[in-house]
Amino acid sequence: MSQPSTAPLVVSVAMHTDVGKQREQNQDAIGHLIPEDPLVLGHLGQLFVLADADGSLARSDLASQFAVSTILSGYYEQEQGAPPERLARAIAEANNVIYAESQESGAAMAATVVSAVIRGHDLILGTVGDCPVYLIRDGAPRRLTPELPARELLSDGVLGEEGEPALVLGVSRSAQVDIITGRVRAGDTVVLCSDGLARYVTPEEMAQTVGELPVQQAAETLVALANERDGADDISVIVLCLSEDVDLARLPRIPDPLESWGVPRRPERARPAGAATPAAPGGGESGAQAVADLLGGVYRLLRGNTVLTGVSMAVALVLFVLLMLAISSLGGDEDAAPKATPIPPAALTQTVTVAQQMTAQAVAQATSDAALAATSAEAARLTLTPPTPVPTSGPQMETGLWFKVLPGNPIPAFDAPSQRAERLTDLEPGSNYRVSSVNREADAGPWYQVVDNLGEEVRWASGPSLHARIVVVDEAGDPLPDEVQPLDVPPPGAASAPTRTPTVTATPRPTQSGTPGTPAAPPLTPTSTTRPSISYGVEAWDVGTMVVLRADLDLCRIPDVTACDAGSASEGEIGAIVQGPVPGGEHWWWEVEFQDGRAGWVAQVLLGIP
């Protein structure tokens, strides 16, 4: 079976950026650097960088330019370190430069960044933020960088509590740098892009485009496709098509040094009769090989005859001594051509042993270097990016779950995931709430954003405050079985071990369709608000899903048709799902955010997939 080629990969590069259809200035920046020194290129590879500025900040175009220039120079200027470690430090230095410039000028600026190093068959990625990287192999795309919730990257939400690393460059003294490494091969394509492209072009469309068109035309076609579908943001892409270096692959195998010197690695098998004797490098038969062939022939001839064997060994010894004396007598002629010196069998064995030891040492050194590089990269990752804190206590719930507050005191609620935020209406015992968002990084977390069963108020409650105070329920308001209740971690210092949230015995009662456990209400007055059952199913959209408006409409502050005064939107506009679904009135509601920052609740019947 053929072995995979080890020849370096040829990288065909195409880069393209565009201001889009709705911006006046392109705030993105792209760049790449290929070292001219072959030794530097072989050791550190070639580097590609794409920076996507935060368009809501006036000077973010400088942030993206600083990011690209600092990373390109900082990666190669370091005196030591493996490529993953160098890339992490270069990105951290870019964050320092942008943050210092922002502090000095008094003008906020920020940018996300993604960078790629290709060295031989190694791919090293360094990223801060949500710019995606796709590997297209055998026509199938795969995202290599982590996905981040859309809301986390807004200008007013890039930071957690004081001291936590930011998800963009330039807004804090530290940034969350992710380093990703892997192997690539001939035929692969790597696509780095800004969210201005990824928002409107699917990975499958990227794979089809780069598979059918030349690399530069593919990059321009992807940008044009994003512009056709809205072009509301700057659009940037770097396409890297990897192929085998045909010329290097055709070169003959590098000869073994021992073979070049005429020293076999192991005794050769007997040649068939009439086979030619190998020639020495200089063109004539070497003395060592001639002696070896002579002795081998005598041995085969006399094998089995003890007397003749003894006589032959004596004759061979005499001939060997005479040959050595003849060769040594020629040593005084300084002008004579160099002569091959026979090597005793013991010396041959020693030479082969030394060569094997050197090979083993080289393999061990290469393995040690690879392990050191991996260790250095991980150390840099841990130094620059503190691990995400593990939730301390409370029920470990996910988005979309309904829960009931058990009897006891009301549970404090806030307008943000922080104990220092403004207090809102408490969570009342006996009431049902739906988890619409989860924040596991804020202090005293996890924090849950919840909405009541009428969709009238959204607020945050901390996980520790919910410990042993809630039970997860189904759509009818009945508790779910114990085995599916979420793990409930006690607060620090509590004697109890983590348990499942307690169950309660459900009391049969009339319910309203579509709202978990809504109790039967007294007769309604003409001014009361009732919510009939929703006549259509809910879509399984995730946060970040792109949706298009089916008609001109007014955005609502809350999921209610009587509160639609948050601005207007036009048919055909595309936005991203921020949270939802929430039942309200006769509809399922989704909060949608648009490129220019407008946001509001929209009924599902007025939304579609672009």
Mean pLDDT, range 396-422, rounded to an integer:
90
- Amino acid 597: pLDDT: 86
- Amino acid 329: pLDDT: 62
Helix or strand run (H / E) with residue 450: strand 447-452
pLDDT exceeds 60 at position 349 = no
**How far is 35 from 327, CA to CA, in rounded Å?**
53
Give CA 411 to chain center in angstroms.
39
pLDDT exceeds 70 at position 223 = yes
One DSSP character per residue, 79-147 reads SS--HHHHHHHHHHHHHHHHHHHHHHHS----EEEEEEEEETTEEEEEEESS--EEEEETTEEEE-SPP
Within 10 angstroms of residue 8's Cβ, the number of other Cβ atoms is 17
Burial of 18 (0-12, 13-18, 19+ CB in 10 A): buried
- Amino acid 392: pLDDT: 59
Token pair of 62 as six digits: 């400088």
- Amino acid 212: pLDDT: 93
pLDDT tens-digit map of 533-544: 566 777 888 888
Average pLDDT across the chain, whole number? 75
pLDDT exceeds 90 at position 12 = yes
Residues 6+ apart with CB under 8 A from 264: 258, 348
Token pair of 306 as six digits: 């003890």
pLDDT tens-digit map of 554-565: 999 888 888 888
With respect to CATH, is domain 394-500 assigned 2.30.30.40?
Answer: yes
- Amino acid 398: pLDDT: 86
**CA-closest candidate to residue 416, choices 359, 350, 461:** 461
- Amino acid 352: pLDDT: 46
Within 10 angstroms of residue 263's Cβ, the number of other Cβ atoms is 17
Helix or strand run (H / E) with residue 412: strand 411-414
Whether the CA torsion 36, 41, 43, 45 is positive or negative: it is: positive
CB 234 within 8 A of CB 196: yes
- Amino acid 69: pLDDT: 93
Residues 6+ apart with CB under 8 A from 258: 264, 265, 351, 352, 355
More confident residue, 305 or 422: 422
pLDDT exceeds 50 at position 156 = no
**How far is 468 from 394, CA to CA, in rounded Å?**
8
Within 10 angstroms of residue 161's Cβ, the number of other Cβ atoms is 14
pLDDT tens-digit map of 291-345: 556 656 655 655 555 666 666 677 777 788 788 777 766 654 444 444 444 444 4
- Amino acid 461: pLDDT: 94
pLDDT tens-digit map of 101-146: 888 888 888 899 999 999 989 999 999 988 999 999 999 999 998 8
CB 570 within 8 A of CB 555: no
Token pair of 425 as six digits: 């209406």
Of the ranges 326-330, 341-345, 428-432, 580-584, which is most confident?
Answer: 428-432
pLDDT exceeds 50 at position 476 = yes
- Amino acid 247: pLDDT: 60
Residues 6+ apart with CB under 8 A from 477: 402, 404, 432, 506, 511, 516, 517, 518
For the CA atoms of 435, 584, 152, 68, the dihedral, rounded to the nearest 10 degrees, stands at: 150
- Amino acid 236: pLDDT: 94
**How far is 477 from 485, CA to CA, in rounded Å?**
14
* Res. 190 pLDDT band, cuts 50 70 90: very high
pLDDT tens-digit map of 436-461: 888 888 888 889 999 887 777 889 99
Of the ranges 68-82, 240-254, 347-361, 575-589, which is most confident?
Answer: 68-82
More confident residue, 545 or 321: 545
Lowest-confidence range among 171-175, 223-227, 516-520?
A: 516-520
pLDDT exceeds 80 at position 180 = yes
Third-level CATH fold of 546-608: SH3 type barrels. (2.30.30)
High-pLDDT (> 70) share of the chain, %? 66
- Amino acid 381: pLDDT: 44
- CATH 2.30.30.40 intervals, the chain: 394-500, 546-608
Mean pLDDT, range 389-401, rounded to an integer:
72
pLDDT exceeds 50 at position 601 = yes
- Amino acid 270: pLDDT: 44
CB 91 within 8 A of CB 175: yes
Of the ranges 184-193, 259-268, 291-300, which is most confident?
Answer: 184-193
Taking each helix axis as running N to C, give the angle between helix 345-384 and helix 83-105, from 0 to 180 degrees, rounded to the nearest 10: 30
- CATH 3.60.40.10 intervals, the chain: 9-250
Residues 6+ apart with CB under 8 A from 604: 536, 538, 539, 581, 587, 588, 589, 590
- CATH architecture of structural domain 9-250: 4-Layer Sandwich (3.60)
High-pLDDT (> 90) share of the chain, %? 33
191: phi > 0 → left, psi -120 to 50 → alpha, else beta; which?
A: beta
Token pair of 418 as six digits: 């922080």
**How far is 357 from 350, CA to CA, in rounded Å?**
11
Helix or strand run (H / E) with residue 434: strand 432-439
Number of H helices, E strands in the chain: 11, 27
Before 581, cis peptide (omega within 30)?
yes
pLDDT exceeds 90 at position 240 = yes
- Amino acid 386: pLDDT: 39
Mean pLDDT, range 488-510, rounded to an integer:
50
Q: Provide the 3-class DSSP secondary structure of residue 61.
A: helix
pLDDT tens-digit map of 373-393: 554 444 444 444 333 334 457
CB 16 within 8 A of CB 223: yes
- Amino acid 541: pLDDT: 87
